[in-house]
Amino acid sequence: MEKKQYKLSVNGKFEFDDKTLPKIDSLEVKDGHFHILLDQQAYRAEIVETIPQEKIFVIRVNGNIYRTQLADQYDQLVKSLGLTANVTHKVKEVKAPMPGLVLEILIKPGQEVVEGEALFILEAMKMENILKSPGEGTISKITVEKGMAVDKGEVLVFLD
């Protein structure tokens, strides 16, 4: 039986395969939470979001958010044949989709973000909502602070 070849893309910038991926020791401590050892250093990781149909996993490692995507042999073949349409669009600002309270800011000025990347956690109607980037860009200015109340349509962040 043929071994499947996978590639892992991190934040759309770094690619790894089964030959370049470092040896990682991991232990799931509870659902979606892991303790990882790599090169004699410990890390805490959590799966924040999964999009199974696109093989996308958003993970938090020691507080940093990473968007990873797996590509199996068929995904790689489609890409090598040029059959993928990679459409990206730049955004200039992200607005609050609803009134709420900023619980967490997951980005920093100067950080590059891709479409679908988590930017903020906003509490609205006693529910936590992850606000994601509608496109790609570089964070130029964050207009809100943790604990701040925002109105619907208020600009939360500007991007270059």
Residues 121 and 129: beta-carbon distance below 8 Å: yes
Q: Where are the domains of the chain?
A: 7-80, 93-159
The HSE-up count of residue 38 (CA atoms within 13 Å, CB side) is: 12
Q: Is pTM beyond 0.75 here?
A: no
Q: d(Cα 138, Cα 81) in Å, to the nearest integer?
A: 31
Q: What is the pLDDT of residues 100-129, one digit of tens each?
A: 999 999 999 999 998 889 999 999 988 999
Structure tokens that stand for 47 in this block: 């799966």
**Whole-number average pLDDT of the chain:** 87
Stretch among 43-47, 61-65, 72-76, 152-156 having the lowest mean pLDDT:
72-76
CATH 3.90.1580.10 is the classification of domain 93-159: no
Q: d(Cα 57, Cα 67) in Å, to the nearest integer?
A: 6
Q: How far is CA 64 from CA 48, 58, 153, in A?
A: 11, 10, 27
pLDDT at 88: 61
